[in-house]
Amino acid sequence: MATTRHIDGKAYHVDLAELMRVYETNYAKLNRLIPTDPIVGDVRCYQAGSLTYQLEIIEVTKYTTLVEICQDDELPVFPLPKMVVRLYHDAKVAEVCHCEQTARVKARYDYPNTKMLQKDEKFQFNQFLSDWLTFCLKNGISRAPIMYRS
């Protein structure tokens, strides 16, 4: 298993079993929120309390679907970072590929680093997605897509 040495001398190990569990649950949850036969441009919106979220299908291939998730509120109290999530249909897993300013999410990071990313940033992004999806499934209601603002 890959390790990274840190200043304190302790090695960080990616807990692959736990990460895969999160990927699998995210896949199951996200599939409940996107169209059954998605096509590029499909948009689904959900409102939970006073917050509005939008899921847009941005790519569909034979084995994968790419979904952009964003919050569509002017000045949210608890802003959701814009995320791009890839669903792998053959493996039945979904992982966060991009999140806000992070163009590509790595499995682990040296710490400290110039962007101050945590050593387990990939796990944290995906666990956050899991928690958010649970929130939407429990509290959200579907609504008409929101027109993009210029």
pLDDT, tens only, 65-96: 999 998 876 665 666 778 999 999 999 999 99
Preceding peptide of 112 cis, ω within 30°: yes
Contact 39, 57 (CB under 8 A): yes
Which residues, in sequence order, are CB contacts of 9 under 8 Å at separation 6+?
Answer: none
Nearest alpha-carbon partner for 60 in 32, 35, 97: 35
- Name the β-bridge partners of 102: 99
pLDDT band at 7 (very low <50, low <70, confident <90, very high): very low
**Rounded distance between C-alpha atoms, residue 6 and residue 8, angstroms:** 5
Contact 69, 136 (CB under 8 A): no
Residue range 47-69: mean pLDDT, rounded: 91
Which amino acid is located at 67 in the chain? V
The more confident residue out of 70 and 8 is 70
pLDDT score at 59: 97
- 3 state DSSP class of 18: helix
Q: Is the pTM of this model over 0.85?
A: no
Nearest alpha-carbon partner for 14 in 23, 1, 26, 27: 1
DSSP state of 77: S
Q: Which of 17-31, 101-115, 125-139 has the lowest mean pLDDT?
A: 101-115
